[in-house]
């Protein structure tokens, strides 16, 4: 019984993450890739059918498989993520946040997140060929 409840909760959480990830394609503040990775992790533990569908999806599959196998993301994903992060943080610091400590905190968060993203391995052609086999 506990397994069924756990699978139901994971299935629900995976579906919410998938929906938010899809919305994140159009809203730059929602992080699409981490939400899709979380959805894949939830589906891996609750629904083999949905997990397989997600990792073989024509738009998302390569990103998820690349991260799961190599802990790597494409150069394009890194670039878009860091640029959007800094655009949003800069606009927030300049126009939305008045408190100095909050501005400093936002910049510190942006630096840390940028460091994490840029520290990830970059998905190479060889990696892509290996996961497509």
pLDDT tens track for 4-59: 899 999 999 999 999 999 998 888 677 888 899 999 999 999 999 999 999 999 98
Higher-confidence residue of 99 and 77: namely 99
Give yes or no: residues 57 and 81 share one domain.
Answer: no
Binned at pLDDT 50, 70 and 90, residue 113 comes out as very high
Give yes or no: residues 3 and 66 share one domain.
Answer: yes
Give yes or no: residues 3 and 56 share one domain.
Answer: yes
SS3 1: coil
Asked if the model's pLDDT at residue 107 lies above 90, the reply is yes
Boundaries of domain holding 10: 1-70
Beta strand 121-122 with 72-73: parallel, antiparallel or unpaired? parallel
So what's the pLDDT on residue 2? 79
User: Domain boundary at 70, 103, 123, which?
Assistant: 70
Give yes or no: residues 130 and 65 share one domain.
Answer: no
So what's the pLDDT on residue 110? 95
Domain count, the chain: 2
Give yes or no: residues 89 and 51 share one domain.
Answer: no
Asked if the model's pLDDT at residue 84 lies above 90, the reply is no
Asked if the model's pLDDT at residue 105 lies above 90, the reply is yes
Give yes or no: residues 61 and 109 share one domain.
Answer: no
Give yes or no: residues 46 and 84 share one domain.
Answer: no
Own/partner pairs for 27-30, CB < 8 Å, 24+ apart?
A: 28/84, 28/87, 28/88, 29/88
Give yes or no: residues 4 and 60 share one domain.
Answer: yes
Give yes or no: residues 49 and 98 share one domain.
Answer: no
pLDDT tens digits, one per residue of 55-79: 999 988 998 999 989 999 989 888 9
Give yes or no: residues 8 and 24 share one domain.
Answer: yes
Q: Give Cβ neighbours of residue 102 (< 8 Å, ≥ 6 apart).
A: none
Helix (H) or strand (E) segment spanning residue 122: strand 121-122
């Amino acid at each position: 019984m506990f397994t069924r409840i756990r699978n139901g909760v994971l299935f629900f959480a995976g579906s919410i993450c998938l929906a938010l990830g899809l919305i994140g394609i159009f809203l730059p503040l929602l992080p699409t890739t981490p939400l899709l990775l979380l959805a894949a992790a939830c589906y891996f533990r609750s629904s083999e059918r949905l997990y397989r569908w997600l990792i073989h999806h024509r738009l998302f599959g390569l990103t998820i498989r690349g991260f799961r196998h190599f802990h790597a993301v494409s150069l394009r994903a890194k670039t878009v993520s860091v640029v959007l992060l800094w655009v949003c943080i800069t606009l927030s610091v300049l126009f939305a946040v008045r408190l100095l400590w909050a501005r400093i905190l936002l910049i510190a968060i942006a630096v840390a997140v940028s460091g994490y993203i840029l520290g990830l391995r970059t998905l190479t052609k060889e990696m892509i060929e290996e996961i497509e086999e």
